[in-house]
Amino acid sequence: MRRVGIGFLRPGMKVARPVYDRSGRLLLATGIALTENFIKRLSEMRIGALYIEGDIFSGGADASEIVQQSTRMESIKLFKETYRYVKSRRYIDTRSVQKTVDDLLDEILGSYGTLINYYEIRTYDDYTFSHSVDVCILSLLTGISLGFDRLKLKELDIGALLHDIGKVKVSKEVLNKPGALTPDELQQIRRHPEEGFNILRRHHDIPLLSAHIALQHQERLDGSGYPRRLSGDEIHKYARVVMIADVFDALTSDRPYRTAYPVMQAVDFIGSLAGEAFEEDYVAALFSNISPFPAGSVVMLNTGEIGQVVKTDKSAPDRPVVRIFFDRQKNRINHPFEIDLSGEPLLSIAQTLSEEEVFRLTCGTLQPGGSACLDRE
Ligand SMILES: [Fe+2]
């Protein structure tokens, strides 16, 4: 399977993972073949991308997920309700929030050891809600890698899920503003950590340390953050975990003012701040869970051969198993074969192909006579 952006979908491709709408209802089930009409409808609903089968890069990619799509959708739905509830009644149903984060934690502990194929686990743009759930997932993976025990992970998960709850006080227009913010609007946003802390500390069954995650997640180790410009050990370790997960998820998401960074670029950006804004060991702990070349991505090796990542392994995240489909002259190979890069020290991945490059390649326009378009096969 492969993740394909809406602009590159074609009739005949088959849905490889179910597609849900914003309220969690099933739109397209696995195995359904896309038609012009389906594609038009998905585009109208602003569904950004889906996992498909039915072109040459379709079979055999590792489909393991850290958290099942249905659990993730349930968590987003619950967080959405929590957010609205806090906005109208200033109260959190802590029992159902706790149940949700416990379910997430159990699933993550069960699948821990698999690399997260991060690049776009989300399929639609509902950032405020999906962001909180994704930050929670990334924070838990980091916490597990750092050896946190279950009690610590529970304090971490509820705080990570609710780290941005103070944004209920910020207007939607300001949160989603495409252009630059006025000083006044910036002030509004910069108040969200304290607002969040005040909301959370009113609930006696939310640990105070979890509330501190909301208060401190915008601080930075070198004192460059806000609201209190804390530095080093003044920032609790839970907040030091969540701040990295928060920035990573923000960078790899489409925002009203910019498109998403590819995973590799986000990894480089955060890596460049390790030891300054971010705790070095914590950055390494997060990265040990993320595949820079997620299963399904199409890559070119240093030999010029092109293939698809079919299996990733935690022991060598940047050396996955690649199934080769095109030789170094970009001619389609009749019998695709797999190379396990972990056993091939001279081989490496030179680049990930963009969606446009993959589209051109599978339609035979990259090299004349190189390959046949799906529609003609
Ligand atoms: Fe935030």
Residue 125 in any domain: the answer is: yes
Q: Do 152 and 255 sit in the same domain of this protein?
A: yes
Residue 373 in any domain: the answer is: no
How far away, in angstroms, is 264 Cα from ligand 1 center?
23
Please, which residues have CB within 8 angstroms of residue 122's CB and are 6 or more apart in sequence?
A: 48, 130, 134, 253
Residue 113 in any domain: the answer is: yes
Q: Do 222 and 76 sit in the same domain of this protein?
A: yes
Residue among 118, 316, 152, 178 nearest 242 (CA): 152
CATH label of the domain that carries residue 272: 1.10.3210.10
How far away, in angstroms, is 167 Cα from ligand 1 center?
8
> Where does the pLDDT of residue 105 fall: very low under 50, low under 70, confident under 90, or very high at 90 and above?
very high
Residue 255 in any domain: the answer is: yes
How far away, in angstroms, is 217 Cα from ligand 1 center?
7
How far away, in angstroms, is 314 Cα from ligand 1 center?
29
Q: Do 317 and 283 sit in the same domain of this protein?
A: no
How far away, in angstroms, is 212 Cα from ligand 1 center?
12
- Give the per-residue pLDDT at 363: 67
How far away, in angstroms, is 172 Cα from ligand 1 center?
14
Mean pLDDT of 89-109: 89
Q: Do 281 and 333 sit in the same domain of this protein?
A: no
Q: Do 347 and 314 sit in the same domain of this protein?
A: yes
Please, which residues have CB within 8 angstroms of residue 342's CB and are 6 or more apart in sequence?
A: 313, 315, 316, 319, 320, 321
Last residue of a domain, one of 266, 287, 308: 287
- Give the per-residue pLDDT at 217: 98
Q: Are the beta carbons of 9 and 34 closer than 8 angstroms?
A: yes
Phi-psi region of 236 (alpha: psi -120 to 50; beta: other; left: phi over 0): beta
Q: Do 309 and 186 sit in the same domain of this protein?
A: no
> Where does the pLDDT of residue 59 fall: very low under 50, low under 70, confident under 90, or very high at 90 and above?
low
Phi-psi region of 91 (alpha: psi -120 to 50; beta: other; left: phi over 0): beta
Residue 254 in any domain: the answer is: yes
How far away, in angstroms, is 24 Cα from ligand 1 center?
24
- Give the per-residue pLDDT at 41: 87
Which DSSP state fits 251? H
State the chain's mean pLDDT as an integer.
85
- Give the per-residue pLDDT at 369: 33
Q: Do 107 and 254 sit in the same domain of this protein?
A: yes
Q: Do 283 and 309 sit in the same domain of this protein?
A: no
* Type of residue numbered 168: V
pLDDT digits (tens, 9 = 90+) for 226-252: 999 999 999 999 999 999 999 999 888
How far away, in angstroms, is 164 Cα from ligand 1 center?
5
Residue 370 in any domain: the answer is: no
- Write the CA distances from 318 to 143, 341, 377, integer angstroms: 22, 9, 33
Total tally of structural domains belonging to the chain: 2
Q: Do 45 and 79 sit in the same domain of this protein?
A: no
Q: Do 127 and 275 sit in the same domain of this protein?
A: yes
Q: Do 209 and 345 sit in the same domain of this protein?
A: no
How far away, in angstroms, is 3 Cα from ligand 1 center?
28
Q: Do 240 and 104 sit in the same domain of this protein?
A: yes
Residue 274 lies in domain: 69-287
Helix (H) or strand (E) holding 45: none
Rounded Cα distance between 16 and 32, Å, is 8
How far away, in angstroms, is 234 Cα from ligand 1 center?
18
How far away, in angstroms, is 51 Cα from ligand 1 center?
29
> Where does the pLDDT of residue 91 fall: very low under 50, low under 70, confident under 90, or very high at 90 and above?
confident
Helix-then-strand count for the chain, H and E: 13, 10
- Give the per-residue pLDDT at 9: 85
How far away, in angstroms, is 104 Cα from ligand 1 center?
21
How far away, in angstroms, is 291 Cα from ligand 1 center?
25
Among 39-43, 197-201, 290-294, which range has the highest average pLDDT?
A: 197-201
How far away, in angstroms, is 222 Cα from ligand 1 center?
18
How far away, in angstroms, is 163 Cα from ligand 1 center?
6
- Give the per-residue pLDDT at 376: 30
How far away, in angstroms, is 216 Cα from ligand 1 center?
9
* Bigger pLDDT: 341 vs 298: 341
Residue among 287, 298, 353 nearest 320 (CA): 298
How far away, in angstroms, is 78 Cα from ligand 1 center?
19
Six-digit token string for 165: 């709850």
How far away, in angstroms, is 74 Cα from ligand 1 center?
22
* Bigger pLDDT: 140 vs 18: 140
Is pTM beyond 0.85? Reply is no
> Where does the pLDDT of residue 355 fall: very low under 50, low under 70, confident under 90, or very high at 90 and above?
confident
Residue 372 in any domain: the answer is: no
Mean pLDDT of 180-198: 94
Among 149-163, 166-180, 259-273, 357-371, which range has the highest average pLDDT?
A: 149-163
- Give the per-residue pLDDT at 176: 78
How far away, in angstroms, is 157 Cα from ligand 1 center?
15
Helix segments in the chain, DSSP class H = 36-44, 69-89, 94-111, 127-145, 150-161, 172-175, 183-190, 192-201, 208-216, 237-251, 263-273, 280-287, 355-362
- β-strand 26-28 against 2-5: which pairing, if any? unpaired
How far away, in angstroms, is 171 Cα from ligand 1 center?
14
How far away, in angstroms, is 17 Cα from ligand 1 center?
30
How far away, in angstroms, is 218 Cα from ligand 1 center?
6
Mean pLDDT of 315-319: 85
Residue 377 in any domain: the answer is: no
Please, which residues have CB within 8 angstroms of residue 304's CB and are 6 or more apart in sequence?
A: 327, 328, 329
